[in-house]
């Protein structure tokens, strides 16, 4: 009850922090799509490259987020952005790579080789094959990777409050330092709600982007 009263009283602040959170995740994942999808497509050309890239992306995932943010402080300090929005977005871009690259790669590798054979035999160029056949078929799986990245980043962005990037994590960190369960619960619930809405929204998008000929009846 007390938590609810707190949430109602601080509603504008929750919205403002929520917006910061969405901005962090939205900007980082959007950029990550433009790096991850092309990388995922490129590594289908070489088994060795694929193994290495996927391994590297997996290692990045294992770095604790708080350590990653810390590592970026000396790197970005020279340009005056050691803490705040920029390092948070950069870290989140890195964390998004694995799900996006992995899904793009897997989706394209899983396409029936007969389609590639037919496309080649009929005189499609590699680019045309990608545009007309491979990407449309791979799209739902790629969007699924983006969905994973978004949900993952909504959680990780909570930690970004410790480097002054704001977001809903502010309530949680304050709740811990001030031993104030009202703030702690408000922050946690808000993050969960955001994650669920984003997940469902992207699921709908994924269904919409599935080619009609591939939809399950």
Partner 1 sequence: MIRLKNLTKIYGGITAVDNVSIEVGAGEVCVLLGPSGCGKTTTMKMINRLIEPSGGRIFIGGKDVTEVDPVQLRRSIGYVIQQIGLFPNKTVEDNICVVPDMLGQDRKTSRKRAAELLEMVNLEPAAYAKRYPKELSGGQQQRVGVIRALAADPPVLLMDEPFGAIDPINREVIQDEFMKLQAAMKKTVIFVSHDIDEAVKMASRIAIFRSGRLIQYDTPDNILAHPVDSFVADFVGHDRTLKRLRLITVRDAMATEPPRVTPDDDVDTAVALMKRHGHVSVVMVGPQGKVLGFVRLEALHGKRGRVGEHYEKLTSVVHVDDNLRNAVSQMFANDQSWLACVSTEGVYQGYITQRSITHLLGATYRDR
State the residues that interact with partner 1 by CB under 8 A: 112, 114-115, 117-125, 128, 132-133, 136-137, 211-214
Beta strands in the chain (DSSP E): none
CB of 45 to partner 1, least distance (A): 18
CB of 40 to partner 1, least distance (A): 19
Residue with smaller CB distance to partner 1, 51 or 132: 132
Residue with smaller CB distance to partner 1, 66 or 133: 133
CB of 132 to partner 1, least distance (A): 7
Question: Cα(25)–Cα(23) distance, rounded to whole angstroms?
Answer: 6
The two tokens of residue 106 are 């897997």
Among the listed residues 166, 38, 160, the one whose alpha carbon sits nearest the alpha carbon of residue 97? 38
CB of 125 to partner 1, least distance (A): 6
Residue with smaller CB distance to partner 1, 52 or 128: 128
Residue with smaller CB distance to partner 1, 72 or 141: 141
Residue with smaller CB distance to partner 1, 78 or 112: 112
CB of 34 to partner 1, least distance (A): 23
Q: Do 97 and 60 touch, CB atoms closer than 8 A?
A: yes
Provide CB contacts within 8 A for 186, sequence distance 6+. 3, 6, 7, 10, 14, 171, 175
Question: Cα(158)–Cα(173) distance, rounded to whole angstroms?
Answer: 9
Question: Cα(194)–Cα(186) distance, rounded to whole angstroms?
Answer: 12
Q: What angle do CA 149, 18, 158 make, to 5 degrees?
A: 55
The DSSP call for residue 130 is I
């Amino acid at each position: 009850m007390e938590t609810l009263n707190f949430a109602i009283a601080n509603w504008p602040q929750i919205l403002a922090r929520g917006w910061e959170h969405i901005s962090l995740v939205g900007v980082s994942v959007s950029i990550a799509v433009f790096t991850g999808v092309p990388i995922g497509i490129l590594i289908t050309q070489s088994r060795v490259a694929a193994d290495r890239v996927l391994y590297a992306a997996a290692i990045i995932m294992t770095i604790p987020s708080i350590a990653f943010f810390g590592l970026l402080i000396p790197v970005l300090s020279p340009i005056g952005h050691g803490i705040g929005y920029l390092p948070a977005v950069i870290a989140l871009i890195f964390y998004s790579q694995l799900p996006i690259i992995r899904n793009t790669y897997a989706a394209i590798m899983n396409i029936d080789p007969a389609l590639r054979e037919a496309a080649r035999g009929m005189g499609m160029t590699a680019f045309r094959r990608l545009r007309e056949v491979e990407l449309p078929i791979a799209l739902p799986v790629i969007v699924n990777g983006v969905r994973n990245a978004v949900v993952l980043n909504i959680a990780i962005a909570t930690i970004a409050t410790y480097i002054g990037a704001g977001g809903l994590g502010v309530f949680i960190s304050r709740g811990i330092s001030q031993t104030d369960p009202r703030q702690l619960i408000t922050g946690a619930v808000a993050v969960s709600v955001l994650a669920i809405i984003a997940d469902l929204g992207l699921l709908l998008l994924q269904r919409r982007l599935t080619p009609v000929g591939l939809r399950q009846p």
